[in-house]
Structure 1
Amino acid sequence: MDFETVMQELENLGKERTKKIYISNGAHEPLFGVATGAMKPMAKKIKINQPLAEKLYSTGNYDAMYFAGIIADPKAMTESDYDRWIDGAYFYMLSDYVVAVTLSESDIAQDVADKWIASGDELKMSAGWSCYCWLLGNRSDHEFSESKISTMLDMVKNMIHHSPERTKSAMNNFLYTVGVSFLPLHEKAVTTAKEVGIVEVKRDKKKSSFLNAYENIQKEIDRDRLGFKRKYVRC
């Protein structure tokens, strides 16, 4: 399938209701409003196609950018490719669910995520923390430095309440993910989550969200889901 065919197919799959939901979450034109599940048949046909992914991502069309993440070749992308993608990610559904997810399947994931976390830019920081969530929820515990993840838990404790809104959300998710999916630091994550308490995330034109990583970790403990790992990161 070539670029024009994919764009036409995405347009055909668009739904006005889905488009409104995406816009209410921060997406803007151009977009068609394609449900992510509706992209699967097309993704199966194309499989991996990095040149096509690059072309789709550069359109600025939300649905095309999302689909680009599904067919991208994470290991073929360089650090500058990821930087270009994060620069084009204008809201959190792109930064955290397209760019961070794609990055998490690459060999340079932690190095790039570390730089983004240190950047001071809201969506880069959010993508960096989110990337670690995808990594910790999928890869074996021994692939991570325990002391590094421990230091990151301390960063969350000290910085979460003063961080930008989207970054707060991703940091809170990191706390939860370490508590559930990274067994060596489960206890520390639980203690840290308790100390952090409730995190308020303010949102444009919507009510604030109140996040509680401690409660959510407890729910997973009750469900006997400690040590949970995803088989796949990308859909």
Structure 2
Amino acid sequence: MHDMTLAEALGELAALEDPKMRAANEKRGDDHGINLSRMRAVAKKIKTDQPLAQELWSTGETAARLLALLICRPRDFTADELDAMLRETRPPKVNDWFVNYVAKKTPLAEEMRLRWFDDPDPTVAAASWSLTSVRVAKDPDGLDLPHLLDLIERDMKDAAPRPQWSMNETLATIGIHHPSLRVRALEIGERLQVLADYPTAPGCTSPFAPIWITEIVRRREG
């Protein structure tokens, strides 16, 4: 099979567009109408294709960008390309997939984490906190965890929604993976009450840090 062209890829996406799904997605800020498992099937057909991914991304269209994130090769992006891409990830699903499928997978993850850490753009700062959560869990050597807790304690309550969510994730990750800091992490969560009233489906763990930490620790030690 020949490599798929940009026009062919956009045609495949257009054929999957569903007005009802678009209406549901747009309520969440995602301006596309494609069932994501069907989009993944298109990506599977294309396999990894970095040049096509970059063409899809440059269209600026949400569906095309989601497909780009599924077929790109994260290690092929430069630091400046990653930075520019992140700053354009306004739709929530594009942001989520960029952070999880590209930023967390690039060999430049630590360089980007530091570059994005104090950025005034909340989307950029949030990505840094997401990368920080990964390091807290997998490679905490060299991180000043008490200082991270100081920053979370100071800034999380009044942070914009994206960085607030990511800081909360880092708070929970510290509490789960670092028993010596667990009591302090629980205390910060209880005092700030961030996401305490977040609606949680039955069978799912609440993102409220004290519940999240306690539940995961119980499962691990149970």
TM-score (norm 1): 0.78
State the Cα RMSD in Å: 2.6
Q: Does structure 1 conserve the Cα–Cα contact (< 8 Å) formed by 2:174 and 2:185? A: no
Q: Distance in 1 between matches of 2:37 and 2:182?
A: 33
Q: 1:122-164, CA deviations, whole angstroms, 9 ceiling, x for partnerless residues?
A: 111122222334x359xx73x3425334432332122101211
Residue 155 to residue 42, structure 1, CA distance change in 2 (3 Å):
same
Q: Distance in 1 between matches of 2:62 and 2:128?
A: 20
Q: State yes or no: 1:8 paired with 2:11.
A: yes
Q: Which amino acid aligns with 2:102?
A: T
Indicate the structure (1 or 2) with the bigger Cα radius of gyration: 2
By how many angstroms is 1:46 displaced? 1.9
Residue 22 to residue 101, structure 1, CA distance change in 2 (3 Å):
same
Residue 44 to residue 100, structure 1, CA distance change in 2 (3 Å):
closer
Q: Distance in 2 between matches of 1:104 and 1:144?
A: 15
The corresponding residue for 1:172 is 168
Q: Distance in 1 between matches of 2:47 and 2:188?
A: 44
The corresponding residue for 1:204 is none
Q: State yes or no: 1:196 paired with 2:189.
A: yes
Which structure has the highest strand share of the two? 1
Q: 1:65-110, CA deviations, whole angstroms, 9 ceiling, x for partnerless residues?
A: 1111111111111111101101221233322332453011011102
Q: 1:24-80, CA deviations, whole angstroms, 9 ceiling, x for partnerless residues?
A: 11234xx3x112222222222222111111111122211111111111111111111
The corresponding residue for 1:86 is 86
Q: Distance in 2 between matches of 1:67 and 1:149?
A: 36
Q: Does structure 1 conserve the Cα–Cα contact (< 8 Å) formed by 2:13 and 2:64? A: yes
Q: State yes or no: 1:161 paired with 2:157.
A: yes
Q: Distance in 1 between matches of 2:121 and 2:115?
A: 11
By how many angstroms is 1:167 displaced? 1.1
The corresponding residue for 1:21 is 24
Q: State yes or no: 1:215 paired with 2:211.
A: yes
* Structure of higher RCO (CA pairs closer than 8 Å, 6+ residues apart): 1
Residue 94 to residue 41, structure 1, CA distance change in 2 (3 Å):
closer
The corresponding residue for 1:132 is 132
The corresponding residue for 1:119 is 119
Q: Distance in 1 between matches of 2:70 and 2:90?
A: 18
Q: Does structure 1 conserve the Cα–Cα contact (< 8 Å) formed by 2:75 and 2:106? A: yes
Q: Distance in 2 between matches of 1:36 and 1:178?
A: 32
Q: Does structure 1 conserve the Cα–Cα contact (< 8 Å) formed by 2:172 and 2:185? A: no
Q: Distance in 1 between matches of 2:128 and 2:159?
A: 14
By how many angstroms is 1:221 displaced? 2.3
Where do 5+ consecutive residues of structure 2 fail to align? 200-206
Q: Distance in 2 between matches of 1:225 and 1:23?
A: 41
Divergent runs of 4+, >6 A: none
Q: Does structure 2 conserve the Cα–Cα contact (< 8 Å) formed by 1:175 and 1:189? A: no
Q: Distance in 2 between matches of 1:225 and 1:26?
A: 39
Q: Distance in 1 between matches of 2:14 and 2:144?
A: 44
By how many angstroms is 1:187 displaced? 4.0
Q: State yes or no: 1:71 paired with 2:71.
A: yes
